[in-house]
Structure 1
Amino acid sequence: MVQIYRFAAIRPARRYSEKIPSVPYDVVTADEARECIEKNPLSFLRVSRPDAELPDIPPNDDRVYRRAREVFESMLADGLMERDPEPGMYVYRAVQDGEEFVGLVCCVPTEDYETGKIRRHELTRYDKEEDRTRHIDAVGANTGLVFLLYRDRQGIYSHLHSLIEGVRPDGSTTTASGVLHQIYRITDDAALSHLEDLFSAVPETYIADGHHRAKSAVNVAALRRREGRFTEEAGRFMVVLFPHDRVRIHGYSRLVTDLGRYATPREFLEALRESGWTVRPCGSLDTEGYQIPPLESDAGGRHVMHIYLDEAWYEISRPIADPTNLLGSLDVSVLQKDILKGMLGISDPQADTRLHYMGGAKPLRELERLVDDGRYALAVAMQPVPIETVLAIADAGGVMPPKSTWFEPKLLSGLLVHTID
């Protein structure tokens, strides 16, 4: 049984709903966030990425988190954001490239995360978990959404769609990339009770995106219990629920700063061949795309990934040793075990500073640029993991390597905020 709760969100005042919402804090660097804020001083990145405006202060300094709360409180005091007068729930609608996504925004108990009713499939990175724990506690709010999936056997998606058909949204913004994001507030008690009943028949949910935000919310609840600052709202966190078969999934690219013990790209490629990988040049590619199709039309039963180094793309592939091992047969698992750790010495994907990640919804030319300008020696573009595989691993209690999946729609921050104080 999935428990969902109503809450009174803090949202941009209608006249500011186009300007305040921002990309999630974790898809931009501090420099990129600073550039966004300079272009749009109302951006919610001022709250979610306070380090962007404090470049001379270490990002984990207490002053950074205090700044986030100060900016958030000033947005409320200045009327840029407002609290809804009564608890409710919210329909989140996104339209991207002509495709519509509809989900329900509500709160869920931290207890469901701790007991495994909210299932996860990825490890969290220690530094990022600590950052969001301190951020949530300092601001006193969940400023970003956790993206949950559910198997829709109750017709919830169709019901949500019917609730907003022909209704004017309560908040709306269109991103620079042309994605429309809309919020519809639901306050009718009968409608809210029906949604609660529908989800009470859903046995479990799955984290698609926001593993760090979810774990950090759990951390804050535990911290506040220990310190005698616990409130009912601190034991809940804000999520958006989408049907598992009505989202997009991409691979998650890797970037490596150096080739370790290999003196040249050619030496590294030869070592790959010697360890059983088939290495084939890709030739000319459409680098505006997000991923590279396998060179062979039928690549079933093989690991397939693409690497970029020395101004060229290569496909590397080899047979899957044990297809029955869901976790061990993942491309990302084999990449980590045999190449990143086995060949390049990157043993801890959560903490090693030689390894960086880039979301799979950025064009391949971005990977090329980062390698060509010398910041990285190697880029790896991954194929998407089938969604049913992700859920099956979570059901089995398995944990995928960090940054194994990139889900869309990518939700904005600042459209809705859940306060815990």
Structure 2
Amino acid sequence: MVKIKAFLGYSPPKSLEKKVPSPPYDVISSEEARKFAEGNEQCFLHVNKPEIDLPEDTNPYSDEVYKQAKINLDAFIEKGYLVKETQPQLYIYAQTRGNHTQKGYILLASIDDYEKGLIKKHEFTRKDKEEDRTKIINIQNANAGPVFLSYSSKQSLDDFLETLSKRDPDFDFFADWEGERHQVWKVSDKKIIESIQGEFDSVPALYICDGHHRMQSAANVAKMRKAEIEKNGGTVTGEEPFNFVMTVVFPHTQLAIFDYNRVLFKQKKKKEELMEFLKQSFDIKEVEKKENVPDNTITPPHYAKPTEKRVFSMYLDKKWYYLHVHKDKVDESDPVKSIDSQILTEQILTPFFGIQDLRSEKNIDFIGGTRGYQALQNLVDKNDAQKQNDEISVAFGIFPVTMLELMNVADSGRTMPPKSTWFLPKLLSGLVVRLIEN
């Protein structure tokens, strides 16, 4: 049911496999990008964070930045930092971090499928970010970074991933800045590509994991170009290059979503009031302090991490607690209300702390699981040291969302609770670039 395509990608030569790739544009600030790319003119941040080549006071959303993005991408191709394939390819992309490995396909997905709802989203986009990516895609005429998608695991497609990655990879390197191994295998055999396309024909839907703004922006560019063609009397078939976007598609069973936790500070409440309130909806148990046992996973171990859903960790006044939510407080039939982060919001954050909108609340931090529970503890202790007598700080640890939960929400046409998903590893930019060309 979903349409995918091979394409003529642009990749670094083998000698630059570690010099060109960079973190995605949206996980690194302009200041961090300048430092990261310093002394390396081949770093892809020159392409997807082009403000680093302009004065530091340059507005990152100015026309000057978008023009620089085009200049830098053209220069990467002219200088041979990115080299065009000689025939259409699919790619197998493997990422390994700690004891976790995930393999997926780099391919083109259909904008029409997105518009029809066959490529499903789970969050809203922000207009400012959407406009930014729309401009840069249109001006560069390229997909400089892929959209991160998933499909419901299908044995035949999963088997292709394993079979095609048995030979030596075309790229194989460690990204030192994140401690991850990245491997890429190019697939150019027409019969194999046709077989993979045939298997995707029966995939009912794809799910956006990360890159909602990139996906919507690619759709915006397609609409603009379609309108221009029709304005001039032409027709659009859906097969035009602008009607496709570069993606990486993983089976859902290989993906890892990590905990995304909350720290509240300078809250005008008292500890005794909070503990009394919690008794209405939770069984509370103080966590016995013990040694953290390393488990070779991506996130740091901690004795107070919950080991199952419907259990939250809470750090308050130098102590950790487990909060077991009462069954009658959870609507298991609702795909959104049954997600632990939403339960925390509805049972504690809104009714007790008065938090109505997580995105706009000032006195709250969201901490990705890779920073560990010690980071939560440190933030609370730091704020406790500066608090007034009528204030408290508190951290809540949440059991990670599952891919099935995310897919159920997307299938229902609704959106995930804010700050619920923390995907790792992140997709590198600059491994494969796609120009929107005939």
Instruction: Specify the TM-score bucket, using the shorter chain as the normaliser.
Output: 0.7 to 0.9
Of stretches 58-67 and 345-354 in structure 1, the one that deviates more from structure 2 is 345-354
Q: Where does residue 399 of structure 1 map in the other structure?
A: 415
2:312 touches 2:396 (CA, 8 Å); kept in 1? yes
Question: Residues of 1 paired with 2:66 and 2:364: CA distance?
Answer: 26
1:269 touches 1:279 (CA, 8 Å); kept in 2? no
Of stretches 322-331 and 307-316 in structure 1, the one that deviates more from structure 2 is 307-316
C-alpha displacement of 1:384 = 0.7
Question: Residues of 1 paired with 2:250 and 2:118: CA distance?
Answer: 16
Q: Where does residue 233 of structure 1 map in the other structure?
A: 241
Question: Residues of 2 paired with 1:74 and 1:124: CA distance?
Answer: 31
Distance 1:172 1:253, change over 3 A: same
Q: Where does residue 250 of structure 2 map in the other structure?
A: 242
Distance 1:199 1:306, change over 3 A: same
Q: Which amino acid aligns with 1:416?
A: V
1:304 equivalent to 2:305? Answer no
Q: Where does residue 216 of structure 1 map in the other structure?
A: 217
2:151 touches 2:207 (CA, 8 Å); kept in 1? yes
Question: Residues of 1 paired with 2:132 and 2:98: CA distance?
Answer: 33
Coordinate RMSD, CA, aligned: 3.3
Larger radius of gyration: 2
Distance 1:204 1:269, change over 3 A: same
Of stretches 69-78 and 33-42 in structure 1, the one that deviates more from structure 2 is 33-42
Q: Which amino acid aligns with 1:382?
A: I
Which deviations, in whole Å up to 9, do the C-alpha atoms of 1:117-169 show, x marking residues without a partner?
Answer: 11222333444333322332232222222222212334211122212312x32
Give SS of 2:73's match: helix
Of stretches 121-130 and 199-208 in structure 1, the one that deviates more from structure 2 is 121-130
Q: Where does residue 426 of structure 2 map in the other structure?
A: 410
Q: Where does residue 5 of structure 1 map in the other structure?
A: 5
5+ residue gaps, structure 1: none
C-alpha displacement of 1:81 = 1.2
C-alpha displacement of 1:112 = 0.9
Question: Residues of 1 paired with 2:259 and 2:306: CA distance?
Answer: 19
1:332 equivalent to 2:333? Answer no
5+ residue gaps, structure 2: 231-235, 388-392
Question: Percent sequence identity over matched residues?
Answer: 33
Mapping for residues 21-420 of structure 1, pairs under 5 Å? 21-38=21-38, 40-52=40-52, 54-166=55-167, 168-176=168-176, 177-228=178-229, 232-254=240-262, 258-259=265-266, 262=268, 266=271, 269-270=274-275, 273=278, 276-277=281-282, 282=287, 283=289, 286=292, 289-290=299-300, 303-308=310-315, 313-320=320-327, 321=329, 322-350=331-359, 357-368=366-377, 379-420=395-436
Of stretches 117-126 and 86-95 in structure 1, the one that deviates more from structure 2 is 117-126
C-alpha displacement of 1:56 = 1.0
Give SS of 1:76's match: helix
Of stretches 181-190 and 328-337 in structure 1, the one that deviates more from structure 2 is 328-337
1:123 touches 1:402 (CA, 8 Å); kept in 2? no
2:266 touches 2:363 (CA, 8 Å); kept in 1? no
Of stretches 81-90 and 307-316 in structure 1, the one that deviates more from structure 2 is 307-316
Distance 1:196 1:363, change over 3 A: same
Q: Which amino acid aligns with 2:48?
A: S
C-alpha displacement of 1:175 = 1.2
C-alpha displacement of 1:193 = 0.8
Question: Residues of 1 paired with 2:260 and 2:306: CA distance?
Answer: 21
Give SS of 2:173's match: strand
C-alpha displacement of 1:324 = 2.1
Distance 1:340 1:295, change over 3 A: closer
Give SS of 1:192's match: helix
Question: Residues of 1 paired with 2:143 and 2:319: CA distance?
Answer: 43
Q: Which amino acid aligns with 2:356?
A: S
Distance 1:101 1:236, change over 3 A: same
2:302 touches 2:372 (CA, 8 Å); kept in 1? no
Distance 1:269 1:100, change over 3 A: same
Task: Tell me the TM-score normalised to structure 2 length.
Answer: 0.82
Question: Residues of 1 paired with 2:60 and 2:379: CA distance?
Answer: 23
Q: Which amino acid aligns with 1:173?
A: F
C-alpha displacement of 1:312 = 5.8
Distance 1:160 1:132, change over 3 A: same
Question: Residues of 2 paired with 1:103 and 1:165: CA distance?
Answer: 14
2:274 touches 2:352 (CA, 8 Å); kept in 1? no
Distance 1:327 1:43, change over 3 A: same
Q: Which amino acid aligns with 2:189?
A: D
